[in-house]
Structure 1
Amino acid sequence: MPGRLRHLQTPLPGKTVEFVINGRKVVGREGDSLLTAILANHKAVRQSEFGDGLRAGFCFMGACQDCWVELSDGGKVRACTTLLEEGIHVSLPEPKL
């Protein structure tokens, strides 16, 4: 699934970091926030609970609480204020289309 964000510079500087979204291996870049890495590989972070729209984070600085994601260990983090780590497993709800 193509992501919502696109990097403007190619090839990208820095090290590639592998992580997993819903069991699918994907890559981000060292220094990316988890939200940036998710949205470069996935259309949305979650389904809106107030309507039929997809949500993709809003403020990118940890204030709006729109980017909470669940990790494979059951923990939850704000993706916009969490740095991408090698091997992290993220569980995202599948969007209802």
Structure 2
Amino acid sequence: MTSRRMPVDRDPVEPGPDRPLTILVDGEPVAGTVGQTIAGVLLAAGRREWRTTSAGGAPRGVFCGIGVCFDCLVDVNGLRDVRACLRRARDGDVVVRQGEPEVVA
């Protein structure tokens, strides 16, 4: 099988103009485009890590990009352990980095 490029005027997907959205990441607005995953918005904004491991605090971000590895976990709108690579961003989403759980004495 050979690959070939499809002329834009025959593309059945008919891409339209970008529709912007804004999510809050740790209280800061981050711009994205409708259809992007949260990981896509974060990566496009130059953010490469958004979680730390519970053992040692090592930084993590997207690794596999298909929801298998769980390295991209974030809190979204108060819901913990959301895989950023699978969840489509919605305008107004509130995303919080996940880190070592706080120990309450």
1:39·1:56 contact (CA, 8 Å) conserved in 2? no
Q: How many residues align?
A: 82
1:15 aligns with 2:22: no
- Tell which structure's C-alpha radius of gyration is larger: 2
Identity of aligned residues (%): 28
Match of 1:85 in 2: 90
Alpha-carbon RMSD across the aligned residues, in angstroms, is 2.0
**Separation (CA, whole Å) in 1 of partners of 2:62 and 2:54:** 14
TM-score of the superposition, structure 1-length normalised?
0.71
Return the match for 2:65 from 60, 68, 79.
60
Distance 1:50 1:27 in 2: 32
Q: Does 1:76 align with 2:81?
A: yes
Could you tell me which runs of 5 or more consecutive residues in structure 1 were left unpaired when the two chains were aligned: 1-12
The one of the two structures with greater contact order (alpha-carbon pairs below 8 A, sep at least 6) is 1
Structure 2 unaligned segments of length 5 or more: list them: 1-16, 100-105
Matched with 1:36 is 40
